[in-house]
Structure 1
Amino acid sequence: MAESKAFPRRRGFYVKMKLSHHKNGRAQEKSFFIRYYKWILWVSLSIYFFTSYYISHSHSHKSHGTAAPMTKTHVSRALVESSNGELKEMRVFVYDLPPKYNVEWLSNERCSNHLFASEVAIHRALLNSDYRTFDPLEADFFFVPVYVSCNFSTINGFPAIGHARSLIASAIALISSHYPFWNRTNGSDHVFVASHDFASCFHTMEDVAIADGIPLFLKNSIILQTFGVNYKHPCQDVEHIVIPPYISPDSVHDTLKKSPVTGRRDIFAFFRGKMEVNPKNVSGRFYSKKVRTMIWRKFITDRRFYLQRHRFAGYQSEIVRSIFCLCPLGWAPWSPRLVESIALGCVPVIIADGIRLPFPSAVNWPEISITVAEKDIGKLGTILEHVAASNLTTIQKNLWDPRNRRALLFHNQVQEGDATWQVLRALSEKLDRSYRRSRISEQ
């Protein structure tokens, strides 16, 4: 900066002396040019020094984080970085329970592969994880691996979870009698999985689930559950994390090997699954609040819609050919179709009023999905046509970001950004429940 200041000053002195040596008949004209030149020089130097100061000053402020208020993007990034820092230091102790609480249930082959299998996948991933500690004194959280959705009824397709409450109560009695960790916090730093329809209430029918409520022995614990709504509901009146249903990552990988997500899509709107002609179940309840029945009746003859009521083992090959995949509620708001659609590049059309979706900090749901109110089912065709004609390309581009697929799929080993990693990150935001951390802060 000193050299820059010296250079124009010497230059200005040189010009002045050089011009003042020539005094002839054109002195008045030269005097004008001298004034003009000095004015130009003064303006140039002023601009130069002002610009240098501004750039330097602005850079200094930015480097110290005080230049301007942080934008939403900067705040979000800062929170993620802070959360990831906590995650690296977090440790989970996994109880080694007798086989009757978990491994014995795997005699049913479907147990580790059906839509409720997140309870198995999370357990397996934690066992092989760097976040696991074998020293419970180092643990921030304690994972209790009790499989309650593995017992799958072959008669009606519902998970038979009538045993759930007694099985979990038995596991708690066991760990509280052999370890001091449950009793010292009354279970507030203990984690369970409830991957069935109404989760913490441990029943698959909503009215019964609400009537039964959350077991008192779990009221203080953390529940990983697929059920989540954005309004007050008795079955989420507990500390919980909303997780996605389980879809086999191997099946997704095999499908994508045959048909990439950016491939040709010749099906406009797709749905395959339970669509009752008469929605009233034998239990006397209306399945899917009649939504699926209304879709069937309204659009079965519409050539834009590919609707199938019967199961087909290779149905993922249909999803990867589809532009829009309908994801209406079943008995509960969530559906495995949400995960399958995103994993296979089909825009999910969410039809489930009040649903709360998993991992919103990792998956930007509004940018990759369409939400249709249950009352607007009759307008579904018009709504999808409008999206196809306006912002479909943008939605698909956002949807095909592989980070979305990664965040919703569980693997046998924790992969950064995958579903179990997202669970751990969510737990790292609840470290105020860690007994170990509270003891450290008191010292």
Structure 2
Amino acid sequence: MYDLPRKYNLGMIKKDEKNQEIPWTNKVAPAFKTRWQVNRQHSVEYWMMVYMLDALDSENGERVAVRVNDPEQADVFFLPFFSSLAFNTYGHGMTGPGAEYDKRIQAGVVDILKASKWWQASQGRDHVIVMHHPNAFRHFRQMFKESILIVADFGRYPKEIARLRKDVVAPYEHVVPTFEEDNGKDPFMSRKILLFFRGRIQRKDDGVVRSRLAHVLENKTDVRYVNSLASSEGLEQATKGMRSSRFCLHPAGDTPSSCRLFDAIASHCVPVIVSDRLELPFEDEIDYREFSLFFSIQEAIRPDYLVNYLRNIEEGHWLRMWNRLKEVSHHFQYQHPPKRDDAVNMIWKQVQHKVPAVKLAMHRNQRLKIADWWQR
């Protein structure tokens, strides 16, 4: 793991802290106390750094990845730059002094990498870069077209920069609390709402489907489709609504993904996913069809089609999905200390799956360079 100055990661949380140029090398406890200040939906960068700070030469069997001091022993190099937090803290308006500072801080990280012999040796192929927010690291993405990117989806990336073959799709951290006491005798009948959604209906890009769904779902007595901004009251109502519903709708946000899917999983509410181009986390290990339903946009906006389909699902079918949903929900939990196959372990496992292809590309590139030198 690169020993970056604090201003590139935890210093953004504790802005008044002195010595921002000194790397953060101590134990994780001081950072963990302030984790709530991280933008929760896009806090993957935080959790991955926390994991590595507390995993130096660890023998904990719960861990997939171990941090090493000797770069010669490393399979991959992790860059602990909070690119999503930088955008949300400084660049969110896209213009002005804050956005300029976001660009400068990105440029500072780029300078560090360009000076690194480890970056130069692989052209960044064995480097793990977190860009979970769709606008994270937006000024220098071309530089990372060979690196292993940790993303929420591929909505705002050209194919030459981000693609499933080399990159990892990571879940959002859910913002509603995990449903810990969902063991009622009759969960099907106790969930009185057929389909639930609460969130911003007017969105751009992929999210325009939300306004079209509003027209289709309005005036349905067993559906709750509510326009709501993020607030503590809205979060409370969303939590209550998801726990009282059999199905939770997951339409795209501004990009193909949104936090709604992971809120539904945490609430044990069977997800209804409406998307034509969504990539899902850990899909090589998890079959989402066992606990989710999928509809194309054209199917979902067809009058009465979606609702009638859900109404006709029998109790036994729903219970099988609900039970499977509870079985897999731990894969989407970010926590410290980590537990076996939780979210951050699953992400590192996905990175591990990329290593053979990275090694192949690096070795082949070196061989071709040598051949080219001899020809000259």
Select the residue among 59, 63, 68 that pairs with 1:133: 68
Q: Match of 1:98?
A: 5
Select the residue among 407, 410, 418 that pairs with 2:342: 418
What runs of 5+ residues in structure 1 fail to find an aligned partner?
A: 1-93, 204-211, 280-285
Pairs aligned (count): 319
1:242, CA displacement in angstroms? 0.9
Select the residue among 52, 56, 79 that pairs with 1:144: 79
The 5-angstrom pairing of residues 48-87 of structure 1 reads none
Q: Match of 2:45?
A: 119
Instruction: Output one character per residue of 1:215-243: Cα deviation in whole Å (capped at 9) or x when no partner.
Output: 332122110111147x9845524831111
TM-score when normalising by structure 2: 0.74
Instruction: Output one character per residue of 1:84-139: Cα deviation in whole Å (capped at 9) or x when no partner.
Output: xxxxxxxxxx1121111111221487652421111111111122123111222211
> Is the 8 Å Cα contact of residues 326 and 348 (structure 1) preserved in structure 2?
yes
Q: Match of 1:272?
A: 198
> Is the 8 Å Cα contact of residues 2 and 80 (structure 2) preserved in structure 1?
yes
Residue identity opposite 1:242 in structure 2:
V
Q: What is the DSSP-based 3-state SS (H/G/I as helix, E as strand, rest coil) of the residue aligned with 2:149?
A: strand
- The 1:137–1:232 alpha-carbon spacing in structure 2 relative to 1, beyond 3 Å, is closer
Q: Distance in 1 between matches of 2:107 and 2:42?
A: 20
Residue identity opposite 2:150 in structure 1:
L
Residue identity opposite 2:147 in structure 1:
S
> Is the 8 Å Cα contact of residues 122 and 410 (structure 1) preserved in structure 2?
no
Residue identity opposite 1:362 in structure 2:
E
Residue identity opposite 2:38 in structure 1:
S
Select the residue among 235, 248, 268 that pairs with 1:313: 235
Residue identity opposite 1:121 in structure 2:
W
Residue identity opposite 1:429 in structure 2:
H
The 5-angstrom pairing of residues 124-273 of structure 1 reads 124-129=50-55, 130=58, 131-150=66-85, 151-152=87-88, 166-177=104-115, 179-197=116-134, 202-203=137-138, 215-228=141-154, 233=159, 236-237=162-163, 239-247=166-174, 252-253=177-178, 255-257=179-181, 259-260=182-183, 263=187, 264-273=190-199
Residue identity opposite 2:353 in structure 1:
E
What runs of 5+ residues in structure 2 fail to find an aligned partner?
A: 16-34, 59-65, 368-376
> Is the 8 Å Cα contact of residues 92 and 99 (structure 2) preserved in structure 1?
no
Residue identity opposite 1:244 in structure 2:
P
Residue identity opposite 2:352 in structure 1:
S
1:172, CA displacement in angstroms? 3.4
> Is the 8 Å Cα contact of residues 148 and 168 (structure 2) preserved in structure 1?
yes
1:355, CA displacement in angstroms? 0.8
Q: Match of 1:295?
A: 213
1:252, CA displacement in angstroms? 2.9
- The 1:240–1:168 alpha-carbon spacing in structure 2 relative to 1, beyond 3 Å, is farther
Q: What is the DSSP-based 3-state SS (H/G/I as helix, E as strand, rest coil) of the residue aligned with 1:187?
A: coil
Instruction: Output one character per residue of 1:288-340: Cα deviation in whole Å (capped at 9) or x when no partner.
Output: 45311122122221111012112412122321221000000011011111111
Cα RMSD after superposing both structures:
3.3
Residue identity opposite 1:425 in structure 2:
K
- The 1:260–1:111 alpha-carbon spacing in structure 2 relative to 1, beyond 3 Å, is farther
Does residue 337 in structure 1 map to residue 275 in structure 2?
no
Select the residue among 273, 292, 305 that pairs with 1:369: 292
1:352, CA displacement in angstroms? 1.3
Residue identity opposite 2:177 in structure 1:
V
1:345, CA displacement in angstroms? 0.8
Bigger-Rg structure (1/2): 1
- The 1:157–1:400 alpha-carbon spacing in structure 2 relative to 1, beyond 3 Å, is farther
Residue identity opposite 2:88 in structure 1:
F
Instruction: Provide the identity percentage.
Output: 23
> Is the 8 Å Cα contact of residues 140 and 189 (structure 1) preserved in structure 2?
yes
Q: Distance in 2 between matches of 1:429 and 1:161?
A: 35
Q: Match of 2:26?
A: none
Residue identity opposite 1:128 in structure 2:
D
Q: Match of 1:393?
A: 319
Q: Distance in 1 between matches of 2:121 and 2:249?
A: 47
1:405, CA displacement in angstroms? 1.2
